[in-house]
Structure 1
Amino acid sequence: MNRRQPVPFPCHGGNDMPKISNTHPLWAPYARSLLRRLRQAEAESSFDPDIDAEGERIRPVFGGKTPSAAGLLGELEHSQHQDSRDIEDMRAAGIDGYAMDDRGSDRPKVVIAPDKILMTLRLAATFGSRERFGSALDQRACTVITGFEPIQLSGAATAIGRLFLPDGWTSQTRPPRHRDSAVLQLLRPTETGSNKITEHAIAKIEHEILAALARPYPLMILLPDTASLPANLRRVLPPALQLPPIDREIMLRLLGQTHSATGKVDRTLITPLLPENDALATMDMPSLMSALREPNAPAAARKLAALLAPMANASSDMTLAEIGGDSPAHRAAADLVADLTAWRQGTAHWSELSHALLLSGEPGTGKSVLARAIATSAGVPIVEASFGIWQSHGHLGDMLREMRRSFAEAIQRRPCVLFIDEIDAVGSRDSADRHATTYRAQVINQFLAEIDQLNRAEGVLLVGATNHPEALDPAILRPGRFDLHGVLGRPSLQQIRHMLRRALPEAGEADLQALAREVAGETPAAIDARLRAARSAARRAARCCDAAWIRASLPARDPQTQARDRRIALHECGHAIAATRLGAAPVHRIQLSANGGATSRPHLIREGTVAEFEAELTILLSGRAAERLVLGSISAGAGGGEGSDLHLATRLQLRIDREAGLGVNGGAWLGPADMRRLSPEERNRVRVRLDVFERRARQLLELQRDRLEKMADHLLHHRELNEEELKPWLADLGP
């Protein structure tokens, strides 16, 4: 087949070209030749912002005067127009002598939009050399480049077609009509004008790629990180080149075009003024454009550093040490930070580490705070998302696109933490709610695919938060997706004292201990709200907000409150004593709070025997039995919403009868019960059976009544007892 072979760019200067210093990247000579083409195109007003009017073809810049050897030497970074002694004096005064021409002006001869220069430089760094780009023009070569923002695709395609292609070549979005044409098939999805790629655009580019693969012409595909091609198409395409992020080297060369009459800047002066590469990689365009409005390169570098410094240091998120948590979830978070640090130091392989944590717990227990603390403690950025945010962008296609965007951003910013809040909003494909099942299945399937892709991209810790882990699809919870599960409960007294010590650094230990007991059992969010309210009140009263002021601002414990608290203490101590007597030990902690109490203990059902089920039911109803035993009446404390004693006991009894093959239905499996549609027989049986187990619990506690009352009084005073503090009360109560 007669077809024009790839033509290399003309190489001017020959052997007179000096060697590039090792301090400059290998792509620097290539970038200089491309920038010459860009300046020529801009000087002739021939650099169109997009593909030509027909939307099909982009031709390279033609002709132009060949630069002299002296001109090429003058483009090198180490050459300057000023005397070396003058350069040193100007540098000491903060003036860039390299940027000034013979007349002392630092204004560029041709004004070029910074985004065009940036795209040219980043593409030059992507290919690295004229030869490597030339290999992409081989007859059946296929090149994929990712890492673009959707809004950058048009400019990238134009830059490649106008600046990178040799003379005589053309880039087209459609297969050429003539077999002897030197044509690069250059494909990209089109964005909507709002920096978004629609599902329709993705489907269209898939069709165009398949058509282009069948033609014997070189193919180049530009894709945003948010675009997800089908797996069968990804499998046949080559590994993608990644558009490099903006760094100091690219910024120095950008400033050489925007703030220099010579195409150079004083690197010794400018480099220390620029932000670090990590900050530049996440720079937003408003910050860059604002900095480039400064009159010279040093001022622009200082402005950019000032704009990005708050972004790097604005986080007021606490570290894990500042949180001071001691729960299994906090320990799992600390392990993730340690593992990520080891991976970054090269002492651990990513495949050896757990890198996903699901946090669950009631609202206000600090799931979001803990996720941000992981990122802060590890010293990496955090990308935050939620299903609610994704859904707010529109219909299913918009939601999936935004989901992909969040995952792509995390991969681009790695090492980092990707935090997905309210993850239970995705639901489950097995949900009894059959409304929008197809929609839910597509969302979950895409979510699983994104997690799997994230696992292959080393350096991203995935953290999810949910109030209802039981509502999640089992495929999300399986090992390999979320390896670690951590439950966040109410904070311990130790953690509360730690919180108060941070808020009241001048307070004594006795004051902190007393104040911690007053707010024990509350969520971190509730405690923080109380502290804010106390500070506001102190400011209005022109008083010092110390521990005494905060204690005085708390609701007073009147006789009715004290009576209620004693009932709760009896209830929780009844659970603890029954659990120890029946083998659900050790009891980890008992807490009282302003609105209830909690007992933390192991679940008793291990082998699934009838005896274990009945013992667990007895423990669940022992709080209610303790109230009746000591006070002669019961309260609604065992009831309430999901997770209450009565809810768990009712569910467990129905499970025995309907699912475990141990109850009234013999070996039949009838499936989980719908609590809203229980038959009269099931309701009566549950009522009778729960009465039986409450009586059993009362009989068990009658033998320990004195212990029960004294232990409740002790708990009432201290508000919380941990496992060590419970030993004197429970150690001699063997099963």
Structure 2
Amino acid sequence: MLDTCAHLGEHDQLQPVVAPSDQLAAAFLKQLAHEERVRLKSDVPYGREIAEAGFAVPYDGDDPVEQLIALDEVDRQIAHVPIPADLAAVAVLVARAIEAEPGLLRRLRREAPVVVLATHVPEFVEPARAILETCAFRPDRKVQDLSQSRSMVFRKGDIGLFVRDGASKDHRVDIGNDIVGRALHARGPLVGIAPDPNRQLPRDLLRAADHRLALPSLDQHGLDLVIEAVVGGRPTRGIDPDLLRTLDIADLPVALRTMISPDACIDAIAKVLAEKADYLDAGPGLEELHGYGAAKDWGVALAADLQEYRCGSLAWAQIDNRGLLLSGPPGVGKTSFARALAKTARVPLVSTSVADWNSADYLSGTLRAIRNAFARARALAPSILFIDEIDGISDRTTIRGEHVQYWTQVVNCLLEHLAGIEDRPGVVVVAATNHPDRIDPAVRRAGRLDREIAIEKPDATTLAGIFRHYLGSDTLLEMSPMPLALAARGSTGADVEAFVRRARGAARRADREMTFEDVFTEIRQGRRPLPGPARQRIAIHEAGHAVVGRATGLGCIVDASLHDNGGELVLDHVIDGDATLPQLEAVIELALAGRVAEEIAFGNGSIGVGFGPTCDLAKATAIACDIELRFGLGSFGPIHVAATTSDLLLVKGLIEPVAARLSAVAERARKVLTKRWAQVEIIASALDDAGYLAGTEIDALMAGIDPHGGIAELRGSDVSKRGL
């Protein structure tokens, strides 16, 4: 049964899915076959190539009589003359574009219409010209290429062609308008062919155009016609429609390089497309990604919109997610996101990068590469155009010296294509950068890449999911990947892939199955895990943070973990402009609670709370200084002193109130922990055993509930007081 979709508006969405008659396409292919047959009679070397493929050919000897007889037998001996696959495909597309305009074929042969044909990609320009000259125009009319001469005589009835692929600097809207005027006066058919007519054909030609055509994409029925033109028969089966949408005309000569059966042609094409569009089958979809947060939500919404757009039930103008800038450090999976987005949306992915654009020898090559990337995405629309390393396009305000003119043209070319959203319906642009601050502000303006989402390094839970993905669904299933994630804390998804790949290699060379120890070895790279006593101390430390954090009601506990370099408690809380002195002191109490817990358990505290500018003591001291000097809540009264890194030394009398406040708040934390020590012990024990506790598990333990079922065994002097 034919599945049709409603059509909402011209140029705004996909055309309805209907079966084309293809009468004109069949006629074009028949004309091309005739041209090939004529060429075969006069081209002995070509006839020899046909013979090598298994067909009978004219006699190739010296006997003139035999040569005469052989020439007469060509039409009878050769049952089918193959047409070049790429030329046949363009013939089908040109025929369909003409047939979609009622009466246009007759006008091209009888009248003087002005026609503009968009090929989307430069590679189709010359084949489209050849098809029009061979099949669409009357053979008794003279065709003149108006792009090549300014002084030619254009007579009435002549056919004028403007053929521009965008490669020349003269392929602009302001060049050639005088020639258009003379051609229009002569009243002959006038046709312009270009990948992007609005930017490459003369302005007056566009203004005078009676018909604006665009090459459609090749569907299964059109592919069947192409295969029939190549091998003489139609296939009995088709290709996955989503896979077929990734087809480039250039793929056809590669797939059909030998003359084989129709169904074998389908297999060959499917193989070529599967290798090129592996993102449709290999790799995760958006729903399987870990740690992408807002980017994943954006992508899922876009995928749903693109599905509706493909059916014609949603207009392009109604889709709001049409441009995204992904930022984040290397290795967090920006490229993987683009592949997963294309897979979930079931649309082609066109990948490029600024490095690819700049690999051209001259400025013209760079500009052409930018145009070609957008043109290819338009030809495959709906599609995802992924631009990597977009920070390679410099901010024009920072460019100096001899490179100003070069980079200004590059930036302007990119901006022109990004801004032309209505000129590229169905094309969603996703760009990636490690340095969003280096990008020209105009690139991020509304209507271009106006949505930026930062992808951060994954947390422990996300890393565990990434480890499970790369380990596979059939490897080490009995083991939780969380210990690996904790050991790899601070790593990226790319790091995880490398850890697992190298571990597999080590196991393969040892002729055995991979183990978790193999992965640990790759993660640690000689780094030793925490020894038992240190691990116990750190578990007590993090448990102290958790208990005081819950008691002060600062926020929601996300998780607590131990790793090779220490431990961490993640608490989701925000201190903003409406914070009060009690709330600020609660933050200090939380920061000092870990060391106080160590003192209660071991009789002394470790120096780990004082390492680095982000350590517990540094955070607590900074807030205490701000209370005195900047928030107007301390012993100095309502005063604000600009922040410096040496306040404690420069401001007379500051150390005493800061130290006093820290000591008082620490004592408050001690009272809380002493009262709730049973909770500290059970959380520390569970954390020491597992290495990781989610916030819900910590909450359950505080309530005296074993998160895995049953009642938690509380230890300590105050067993009965479990509530907060």
TM class by shorter chain equals 0.5 to 0.7
Shift of 1:511: 4.2
Shift of 1:453: 2.2
**CA–CA separation in structure 2 for the residues paired with 1:382 and 1:527:** 25
1:322 equivalenced with 2:288 (yes/no): yes
Structure 2 counterpart of 1:212, one-letter code: V
Structure 2 counterpart of 1:340, one-letter code: L
Tell me if structure 2 keeps the 8 A contact 1:605–1:616. no
SS at match of 2:511: coil
Tell me if structure 1 keeps the 8 A contact 2:294–2:453. no
Partner of 1:200: 169
**CA–CA separation in structure 2 for the residues paired with 1:106 and 1:154:** 29
Using a 3 Å threshold, how does the CA distance of structure 1 residues 616 and 390 change in structure 2: closer, same or farther?
A: farther
Using a 3 Å threshold, how does the CA distance of structure 1 residues 281 and 559 change in structure 2: closer, same or farther?
A: closer
Q: Give a deviation string over 1:554-593, Cα, whole Å, max 9, x none.
A: 6477477779989998999999999999998446456665
Partner of 1:122: 93
Structure 1 counterpart of 2:193, one-letter code: L
Residue-pair matches, total: 617
SS at match of 2:420: helix
Using a 3 Å threshold, how does the CA distance of structure 1 residues 545 and 349 change in structure 2: closer, same or farther?
A: same
Of 369, 372, 380, 1:413 maps to 380
Partner of 1:54: none
Shift of 1:130: 9.0
Tell me if structure 2 keeps the 8 A contact 1:391–1:399. yes
Q: Give a deviation string over 1:518-550, Cα, whole Å, max 9, x none.
A: 445532222222222222222222222244654
Using a 3 Å threshold, how does the CA distance of structure 1 residues 140 and 441 change in structure 2: closer, same or farther?
A: same
Of 389, 398, 408, 2:365 maps to 398
**CA–CA separation in structure 1 for the residues paired with 2:396 and 2:435:** 15
1:457 equivalenced with 2:424 (yes/no): yes
Tell me if structure 1 keeps the 8 A contact 2:22–2:95. yes
Using a 3 Å threshold, how does the CA distance of structure 1 residues 211 and 169 change in structure 2: closer, same or farther?
A: closer
Of 119, 141, 150, 1:168 maps to 141
Structure 2 counterpart of 1:323, one-letter code: L
Shift of 1:397: 3.3
Structure 1 counterpart of 2:20, one-letter code: P
Partner of 1:380: 347
Tell me if structure 1 keeps the 8 A contact 2:333–2:494. yes
Q: TM-score when scaled to structure 2?
A: 0.67
Shift of 1:161: 3.1
Of the structure 1 ranges 228-237 and 409-418, higher mean CA displacement relative to structure 2 is found in: 228-237
Of 114, 121, 125, 1:153 maps to 125
Structure 2 counterpart of 1:291, one-letter code: L
**CA–CA separation in structure 2 for the residues paired with 1:408 and 1:279:** 18
Of 231, 252, 264, 1:259 maps to 231
**CA–CA separation in structure 2 for the residues paired with 1:516 and 1:595:** 13
Shift of 1:137: 7.6
Alignment map for 1:622-661 (pairs within 5 Å): 630-632=605-607, 637-638=612-613
SS at match of 2:332: coil
Structure 2 counterpart of 1:186, one-letter code: L
Shift of 1:132: 0.2
Tell me if structure 1 keeps the 8 A contact 2:119–2:215. yes
**CA–CA separation in structure 1 for the residues paired with 2:265 and 2:253:** 9
Q: Give a deviation string over 1:651-687, Cα, whole Å, max 9, x none.
A: x99xx99xxxx9768xxxxxxxxxxxxxxx9776799
1:185 equivalenced with 2:160 (yes/no): yes
Tell me if structure 2 keeps the 8 A contact 1:384–1:420. yes
SS at match of 1:397: helix
Structure 2 counterpart of 1:207, one-letter code: I
**CA–CA separation in structure 2 for the residues paired with 1:300 and 1:28:** 23
Tell me if structure 2 keeps the 8 A contact 1:625–1:698. no
Tell me if structure 2 keeps the 8 A contact 1:248–1:277. no
1:472 equivalenced with 2:447 (yes/no): no
1:359 equivalenced with 2:326 (yes/no): yes
Q: Give a deviation string over 1:233-258, Cα, whole Å, max 9, x none.
A: 89847584212333444444344444
Q: Give a deviation string over 1:367-421, Cα, whole Å, max 9, x none.
A: 2222211212222221112222222224443223212222222222122222222
List alignment gaps of at least 5 residues for structure 1: 1-22, 49-100, 191-196, 666-680
Partner of 1:132: 104
Shift of 1:282: 1.4
Of 17, 22, 25, 2:20 maps to 25
1:535 equivalenced with 2:530 (yes/no): no
**CA–CA separation in structure 2 for the residues paired with 1:219 and 1:712:** 83
Using a 3 Å threshold, how does the CA distance of structure 1 residues 510 and 540 change in structure 2: closer, same or farther?
A: closer
Tell me if structure 2 keeps the 8 A contact 1:569–1:713. yes
Of 30, 34, 49, 1:39 maps to 34
**CA–CA separation in structure 2 for the residues paired with 1:33 and 1:330:** 47
SS at match of 1:207: coil
**CA–CA separation in structure 1 for the residues paired with 2:248 and 2:591:** 58
Q: Give a deviation string over 1:91-145, Cα, whole Å, max 9, x none.
A: xxxxxxxxxx999966336x65444444333322221179303445898743221
**CA–CA separation in structure 2 for the residues paired with 1:639 and 1:430:** 35
Of 276, 297, 300, 1:331 maps to 297
Of the structure 1 ranges 356-365 and 32-41, higher mean CA displacement relative to structure 2 is found in: 32-41
Partner of 2:244: 279
Shift of 1:33: 5.9
**CA–CA separation in structure 2 for the residues paired with 1:557 and 1:612:** 42
Using a 3 Å threshold, how does the CA distance of structure 1 residues 32 and 333 change in structure 2: closer, same or farther?
A: closer
Q: Give a deviation string over 1:58-111, Cα, whole Å, max 9, x none.
A: xxxxxxxxxxxxxxxxxxxxxxxxxxxxxxxxxxxxxxxxxxx999966336x6
**CA–CA separation in structure 1 for the residues paired with 2:202 and 2:155:** 34
Shift of 1:723: 4.6
SS at match of 1:202: coil
**CA–CA separation in structure 2 for the residues paired with 1:145 and 1:27:** 19
Of the structure 1 ranges 704-713 and 166-175, higher mean CA displacement relative to structure 2 is found in: 704-713
**CA–CA separation in structure 2 for the residues paired with 1:293 and 1:422:** 39
Tell me if structure 2 keeps the 8 A contact 1:226–1:401. no
SS at match of 1:704: helix
Using a 3 Å threshold, how does the CA distance of structure 1 residues 482 and 509 change in structure 2: closer, same or farther?
A: farther
Partner of 2:47: none
Tell me if structure 2 keeps the 8 A contact 1:364–1:524. yes
Q: Give a deviation string over 1:330-349, Cα, whole Å, max 9, x none.
A: 33333333333344455544
Shift of 1:602: 6.6
**CA–CA separation in structure 2 for the residues paired with 1:397 and 1:575:** 61
Tell me if structure 2 keeps the 8 A contact 1:359–1:464. yes
List alignment gaps of at least 5 residues for structure 2: 1-17, 44-72, 632-638, 704-720
1:288 equivalenced with 2:260 (yes/no): no
Structure 2 counterpart of 1:331, one-letter code: D
Tell me if structure 2 keeps the 8 A contact 1:145–1:240. yes
Identical residues among aligned pairs (%): 23
Partner of 1:671: none
Partner of 2:491: 522
Tell me if structure 2 keeps the 8 A contact 1:293–1:300. no
